[in-house]
Amino acid sequence: MELLVASAIGVLTAGGIYLVLRLRTFPVILGMSLLTYAVNVFLFGSGRLTIGAPPILTDDVTNYTDPLPQALVLTAIVISFGMTAVVVMIGLGAFLGSDDDHVDDQPEAAKAEEEQ
């Protein structure tokens, strides 16, 4: 299970980084979502992986799973979901406004050419 979770995090991160380095808004946003999935699984794994154990600390339970990472993941999911929505809206606004979805700044020469 450790291998499965670790390689899932690795594949998601690698794909995310590749897409984030693209030039256009849409792949970059997809890459950001992949990275946030990777980090969510990573946070989940940071409390050690256990199966079938309750996440509650009571007197009669000796084998329990750490509940804190689950709370952290919940917060991280909510925040990254909201942030992705914001960046989609701003990216859409920028694309509709200037009819161009490049993430980088255009060089001065290209900009001047466009204006003519």
Residues near another protein (CB under 8 A):
20, 25, 28-29, 32, 35-36, 39, 42-43, 45-48, 68-69, 72, 75-76, 79-80, 82-84, 86-87, 90-91, 93-94, 97-98, 103-105
> Please, what is the minimum distance in Å from the beta carbon of residue 8 to another protein?
14
- In this structure, the chain runs to a length of 116
> Please, what is the minimum distance in Å from the beta carbon of residue 30 to another protein?
12
Q: In the complex with another protein, which residue's Cβ is closer, 54 or 85? A: 85
> Please, what is the minimum distance in Å from the beta carbon of residue 52 to another protein?
21
Q: Please spell the DSSP secondary structure of 31-100, one letter per residue.
A: HHHHHHHHHHHHHHHTT---SS--S---TT--S---SHHHHHHHHHHHHHHHHHHHHHHHHHHHHHHHS-
d(CA 26, CA 108): 24
